[in-house]
Amino acid sequence: MSSVLVTGGAGFIGSHLCEALLSQGARITCLDDLSTGRVGNVAHLLAEPGFAFVQGDVADPGIWDRLPAARRVFHLASPASPEDYQAAPVQTIRTNVVGTLNALGFARTHQARVLLTSTSEVYGDPAVHPQTEDYWGHVNPVGPRSCYDEGKRCAEALMMAHARQHGTQVRVARLFNTYGPRLRPDDGRVVNTFIACALRGEPLPLHGDGRQTRSFCYVSDTVRGLIALMDNEQTVGPINLGNPQEVSMRTLAGEVLRLTGCTAGVRQLPARPEDPRCRQPDIRLARRWLDWQPEVPLQQGLIQAIEWFRAQDALGPDRRMPQGQAMAESSARS
């Protein structure tokens, strides 16, 4: 592997991906506008000779002209938590549509392979369980989650259209609830919300009856899957990457309380609007085509995430790099 561009590379998954690619000897350009990513996620990589950070918006066509050529493009840029994308719905759609078009244009110019991180949210509130890649989904196109759900669905359509029209090598990964170190405690995703509340000794917020289910995949497993999909020499269409162990929110809350030693219990809250009732990936295609399946059990992953969150209490709030300094880092390394 040689030159690689990672959009959203200062985000939760993106920063772990950058680390893994660097360990394989790749030269990384990390592009992130820091709207939801954090410089602290990649600060330890800035001194690496094979790593360059560029602060910029994937929907800005001008930023792409200033990026070095790459043979691989991992396109992760997008808000991913409900709080983030519902606070900026227009920007979320723009990132997923215009940003994906820009990434595809860049890939075509440099004859690069491009991988999109899509989401299990393309299945909406599914009528098929577990979810297989050939299921078209059950999504409200005008609901409160539509900016993300439909943004990703459109991004997938753009990837496949570009492949058909221009011969671009594309890969699409549908991710299911990745968790682990570097999740922001305040972004509203359930694992980090539960852990942060438990470590503060506060009741865990449980929406609805708590019987809604998710399938949680530890970040190292997700990253392995992304790299395996990028390296796969056949375009096989979208592939689910997730842990098929299905867990209810009430069970997850109990496990976090047990592992943290918190005795505050839970507090009941109204159900979230259009919150999917179930989520479980069918990963037969990933096993067959990528020889991939998750390795980290939920309890082990939760323990590692809890340890990381505990350590953050002593570190203080993350500080974002000022615009000028970010571009200076980019110029020095690109």
Tens of pLDDT, residues 142-185: 999 999 999 999 999 999 999 999 999 999 999 999 999 999 98
Q: What is the pLDDT of residue 1?
A: 55
Residue 284 CA neighbour count, 13 Å, CB half: 6
Q: Is residue 37 part of a domain?
A: yes
Q: Is residue 205 part of a domain?
A: no
- Give the tokens for residue 64: 């792409």
Residue type, 96: N
Q: Is residue 261 part of a domain?
A: no
Q: Is the dihedral of CA 225, 231, 234, 235 positive or negative?
A: positive
Question: Is pLDDT above 80 for 199?
Answer: yes
Q: What is the pLDDT of residue 62?
A: 96
Residue partners of 168: CB distance under 8 A and separation at least 6: 104, 107, 108, 114, 162
Of 54, 102, 127, the closest CA to residue 332 belongs to 54
Q: Is residue 25 part of a domain?
A: yes
Of 147, 161, 32, 143, the closest CA to residue 84 belongs to 147
191 φ, ψ (degrees, to nearest 5): -60, -50
Q: Is residue 58 part of a domain?
A: yes
Question: Is pLDDT above 60 for 21?
Answer: yes
Q: What is the pLDDT of residue 234?
A: 84
Q: What is the CATH number of the domain that holds 47?
A: 3.40.50.720
- Give the tokens for residue 151: 């943004």
Give me the number of domains the chain comprises. Answer: 1
- Give the tokens for residue 331: 């110029």
pTM: 0.92
Q: Is residue 188 part of a domain?
A: no
Question: Is pLDDT above 60 for 113?
Answer: yes
> Coil, strand or helix: which one is 190?
helix
Residue 333 banded pLDDT, cuts 50, 70, 90: very low
Q: Which domain, by its residues, includes 116?
A: 3-176+219-242+281-296+316-333
Where in the sequence numbering do the catalytic residues fall? Answer: 148
- Give the tokens for residue 81: 């938590």
Q: What is the pLDDT of residue 313?
A: 65
Q: How far apart are the first and last CA of the chain?
A: 18
- Give the tokens for residue 207: 């929406």
Q: Is residue 210 part of a domain?
A: no
Tens of pLDDT, residues 272-303: 888 889 999 999 999 999 999 999 999 999 99
Q: Is residue 17 part of a domain?
A: yes
Question: Is pLDDT above 90 for 186?
Answer: no
The chain-wide mean pLDDT, for the chain, equals 92
Tens of pLDDT, residues 34-83: 999 999 999 999 999 999 999 999 999 999 999 999 999 999 999 998 88
Q: In sequence order, which ranges of the chain are alpha helices (DSSP H)?
A: 12-23, 61-64, 82-87, 89-109, 146-166, 190-199, 219-231, 249-260, 284-290, 298-312, 323-333
Q: Region 315-320: what's the mean pLDDT? A: 39
Distance CA 246, CA 281 (A): 9
